[in-house]
Structure 1
């Protein structure tokens, strides 16, 4: 099954947001190429005025839960590879800097 997995992150360093989102997209494209078709259609959208970034991937997996795990891991790894810091819903930290996850979503796509 194909599942769209996305996360919305608040970013505190707007001065370098363009460079950061470009680096995240590059890391997502690398992950897509290495995934053997498991990861598809990466996308990064930024709303500069609000300091929000939406990062999404399509994942092929056996279940929505497995796809969400793979997708979120891929997104967080891409942020880290782009020299970013991730504060996620699943792993909150007291230091709130970098990409702070506001929400996540997994949606089954039509076959």
Structure 2
């Protein structure tokens, strides 16, 4: 008789700053948290605005108009990269200042998506 093998998906590995960001963002009352197959996602007013995408990366949906307003500042920041979808940016979070930047951008994203 062949045995049955149960596969358990390994817990997503996140860097310490991304893990801290996720813990902090879980406490924000405006955000709804989803633990998805690809990582943790956060939504506001039914729209996903943040998602973890790697050990040190979080994607933030700022909207194209918000990105256009912040572009002079974001251009100077090596930790923020444009995504193919113009509404999103990828934030590399591997130090304390990056965590603070991510939380600030999360606040901008919330404001951009609340009616």
TM-score (norm 2): 0.31
Higher relative contact order (CA 8 A, sep 6+): 1
**If you compute each CA radius of gyration, which structure gives the higher value, 1 or 2?**
2
Please state which structure has a larger fraction of its residues in strand: 1
